[in-house]
Protein backbone atom coordinates (compact mmCIF):
# COMPACT_ATOMS: atom_id res chain seq x y z
CA UNK A 1 0.00 0.00 0.00
CA UNK A 2 1.42 3.17 -1.03
CA UNK A 3 0.74 6.50 0.78
CA UNK A 4 -0.08 9.38 -1.34
CA UNK A 5 1.76 12.55 -0.69
CA UNK A 6 -0.55 15.43 0.13
CA UNK A 7 0.17 18.09 -2.35
CA UNK A 8 0.90 21.59 -0.98
CA UNK A 9 1.04 22.62 2.65
CA UNK A 10 -1.15 25.67 2.31
CA UNK A 11 -3.47 24.79 5.22
CA UNK A 12 -0.57 24.36 7.62
CA UNK A 13 0.87 27.79 6.85
CA UNK A 14 -2.56 29.41 7.39
CA UNK A 15 -2.83 27.81 10.84
CA UNK A 16 0.66 28.99 11.76
CA UNK A 17 -0.17 32.53 10.64
CA UNK A 18 -3.39 32.57 12.72
CA UNK A 19 -1.54 31.27 15.79
CA UNK A 20 1.14 33.96 15.34
CA UNK A 21 -1.53 36.64 14.89
CA UNK A 22 -3.30 35.60 18.11
CA UNK A 23 0.02 35.40 19.97
CA UNK A 24 1.05 38.91 18.83
CA UNK A 25 -2.37 40.32 19.84
CA UNK A 26 -2.07 38.68 23.27
CA UNK A 27 1.45 40.05 23.83
CA UNK A 28 0.41 43.58 22.80
CA UNK A 29 -2.68 43.40 25.05
CA UNK A 30 -0.58 42.26 28.01
CA UNK A 31 1.97 45.02 27.41
CA UNK A 32 -0.78 47.67 27.26
CA UNK A 33 -2.35 46.31 30.47
CA UNK A 34 0.96 46.41 32.37
CA UNK A 35 1.72 49.92 31.07
CA UNK A 36 -1.76 51.25 31.97
CA UNK A 37 -1.67 49.68 35.43
CA UNK A 38 1.38 51.79 36.26
CA UNK A 39 -0.02 54.92 34.61
CA UNK A 40 -3.33 55.03 36.49
CA UNK A 41 -3.36 55.78 40.23
CA UNK A 42 -5.16 53.36 42.47
CA UNK A 43 -7.65 55.50 44.45
CA UNK A 44 -7.52 53.09 47.39
CA UNK A 45 -3.82 53.95 47.85
CA UNK A 46 -4.43 57.72 47.99
CA UNK A 47 -4.46 59.12 51.51
CA UNK A 48 -7.91 60.12 52.68
CA UNK A 49 -8.97 62.74 55.15
CA UNK A 50 -10.45 61.02 58.24
CA UNK A 51 -13.98 61.65 59.43
CA UNK A 52 -14.11 64.09 62.30
CA UNK A 53 -12.16 66.96 60.71
CA UNK A 54 -14.19 70.09 61.42
CA UNK A 55 -13.34 73.78 61.27
CA UNK A 56 -15.62 76.75 61.84
CA UNK A 57 -15.49 80.48 61.23
CA UNK A 58 -16.08 81.95 64.67
CA UNK A 59 -15.99 85.56 63.54
CA UNK A 60 -15.61 87.55 60.33
CA UNK A 61 -14.85 91.27 60.65
CA UNK A 62 -14.64 93.44 57.54
CA UNK A 63 -12.31 96.40 57.06
CA UNK A 64 -13.88 98.04 54.00
CA UNK A 65 -11.25 100.80 53.73
CA UNK A 66 -8.39 98.32 53.21
CA UNK A 67 -10.46 95.57 51.53
CA UNK A 68 -9.53 93.14 54.29
CA UNK A 69 -11.48 90.62 56.30
CA UNK A 70 -10.29 89.22 59.63
CA UNK A 71 -11.38 85.62 60.17
CA UNK A 72 -11.27 83.77 63.46
CA UNK A 73 -10.97 80.11 62.48
CA UNK A 74 -11.43 77.37 65.08
CA UNK A 75 -10.69 73.65 64.89
CA UNK A 76 -13.64 71.79 66.41
CA UNK A 77 -12.67 68.40 65.03
CA UNK A 78 -10.93 65.41 66.54
CA UNK A 79 -7.73 65.88 64.50
CA UNK A 80 -5.09 68.58 64.09
CA UNK A 81 -5.15 70.39 60.78
CA UNK A 82 -2.09 71.49 58.84
CA UNK A 83 -3.77 74.41 57.14
CA UNK A 84 -6.79 75.65 55.28
CA UNK A 85 -7.94 77.17 52.02
CA UNK A 86 -9.92 80.41 52.15
CA UNK A 87 -11.94 81.49 49.12
CA UNK A 88 -14.40 84.29 48.56
CA UNK A 89 -17.11 85.48 46.22
CA UNK A 90 -18.87 88.76 45.58
CA UNK A 91 -22.18 86.96 45.00
CA UNK A 92 -23.79 85.06 47.91
CA UNK A 93 -25.63 82.74 45.50
CA UNK A 94 -22.54 81.23 43.85
CA UNK A 95 -19.76 79.02 45.15
CA UNK A 96 -16.80 80.97 46.52
CA UNK A 97 -13.99 80.36 44.03
CA UNK A 98 -11.54 83.28 44.29
CA UNK A 99 -8.62 82.59 46.63
CA UNK A 100 -8.13 85.22 49.32
CA UNK A 101 -4.52 86.15 50.05
CA UNK A 102 -3.34 86.55 53.64
CA UNK A 103 -2.29 90.01 54.87
CA UNK A 104 0.09 90.59 57.77
CA UNK A 105 0.52 86.85 57.96
CA UNK A 106 2.33 85.54 61.01
CA UNK A 107 5.57 83.68 60.24
CA UNK A 108 3.83 80.34 60.72
CA UNK A 109 1.47 81.02 57.79
CA UNK A 110 2.76 80.41 54.28
CA UNK A 111 0.91 81.22 51.09
CA UNK A 112 1.41 78.73 48.26
CA UNK A 113 -1.10 79.46 45.47
CA UNK A 114 -3.74 80.54 48.00
CA UNK A 115 -3.18 77.37 50.00
CA UNK A 116 -2.51 78.61 53.53
CA UNK A 117 -0.50 75.92 55.26
CA UNK A 118 0.08 75.88 59.00
CA UNK A 119 2.67 73.41 60.35
CA UNK A 120 0.09 71.35 62.31
CA UNK A 121 -0.48 74.42 64.43
CA UNK A 122 -4.24 74.47 64.70
CA UNK A 123 -4.80 71.59 67.10
CA UNK A 124 -8.13 70.38 68.36
CA UNK A 125 -10.07 73.01 70.24
CA UNK A 126 -7.72 75.85 69.22
CA UNK A 127 -8.57 78.98 67.27
CA UNK A 128 -6.62 81.77 65.64
CA UNK A 129 -7.31 84.98 63.70
CA UNK A 130 -6.01 85.77 60.22
CA UNK A 131 -6.38 88.77 57.92
CA UNK A 132 -7.16 88.22 54.26
CA UNK A 133 -7.31 90.67 51.38
CA UNK A 134 -10.25 90.62 49.00
CA UNK A 135 -8.91 93.36 46.72
CA UNK A 136 -9.44 91.18 43.62
CA UNK A 137 -13.19 91.29 44.30
CA UNK A 138 -15.34 94.42 44.23
CA UNK A 139 -17.11 93.26 47.39
CA UNK A 140 -17.10 90.16 49.58
CA UNK A 141 -20.44 88.41 50.10
CA UNK A 142 -19.48 84.80 50.77
CA UNK A 143 -16.47 83.06 52.35
CA UNK A 144 -15.65 79.36 52.23
CA UNK A 145 -12.98 77.60 54.27
CA UNK A 146 -11.71 74.05 53.77
CA UNK A 147 -9.26 72.19 56.02
CA UNK A 148 -5.95 70.66 54.91
CA UNK A 149 -4.37 67.74 56.79
CA UNK A 150 -0.90 66.25 56.68
CA UNK A 151 -1.78 62.59 56.16
CA UNK A 152 0.94 60.01 55.44
CA UNK A 153 3.45 62.78 54.58
CA UNK A 154 1.07 64.22 51.96
CA UNK A 155 -1.16 67.27 52.10
CA UNK A 156 -4.77 66.10 51.85
CA UNK A 157 -7.67 68.47 51.18
CA UNK A 158 -10.59 67.59 53.45
CA UNK A 159 -13.53 68.28 51.14
CA UNK A 160 -15.97 67.08 53.79
CA UNK A 161 -14.90 69.97 56.04
CA UNK A 162 -15.95 72.69 53.56
CA UNK A 163 -17.89 75.42 55.32
CA UNK A 164 -19.33 78.64 54.00
CA UNK A 165 -20.49 81.85 55.60
CA UNK A 166 -22.29 84.86 54.20
CA UNK A 167 -20.67 88.22 54.96
CA UNK A 168 -21.24 91.75 53.72
CA UNK A 169 -17.98 93.52 52.98
CA UNK A 170 -18.14 96.26 50.37
Strand partners, 157: 148
Query: pLDDT tens for residues 95-108?
Result: 888 877 777 655 55
Nearest 10 degrees: CA dihedral of 160, 50, 110, 56? 50
Q: Could you tell me if 128 and 73 are in contact, meaning their C-beta atoms sit under 8 angstroms apart?
A: yes
Band of residue 93 on the pLDDT scale cut at 50, 70, 90 = confident
pLDDT score, position 39: 79
- Whole-number average pLDDT of the chain: 80
Query: pLDDT tens for residues 68-91?
Result: 888 898 999 898 888 888 888 888
Comparing 3 with 30, the larger pLDDT belongs to: 30
Query: pLDDT tens for residues 127-148?
Result: 888 888 888 888 888 998 888 8
Question: Residue 95: CA atoms inside 13 Å, Cβ hemisphere, count?
Answer: 3
CATH number for the segment(s) 55-169: 2.60.40
For residue 66, pLDDT over 60 is answered with: yes
Q: How far is CA 110 from CA 14, 64, 102, 114, 115, in A?
A: 69, 24, 9, 9, 8
**What is the model's pTM?**
0.65
- For the chain, the structural domain boundaries read 11-39, 55-169
Amino acid sequence: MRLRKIGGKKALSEIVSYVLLILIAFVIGTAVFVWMRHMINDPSKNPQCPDGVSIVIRNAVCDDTNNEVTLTIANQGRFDIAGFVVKGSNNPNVIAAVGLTPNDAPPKLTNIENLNVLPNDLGTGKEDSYKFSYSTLTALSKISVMAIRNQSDEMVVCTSSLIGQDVSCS
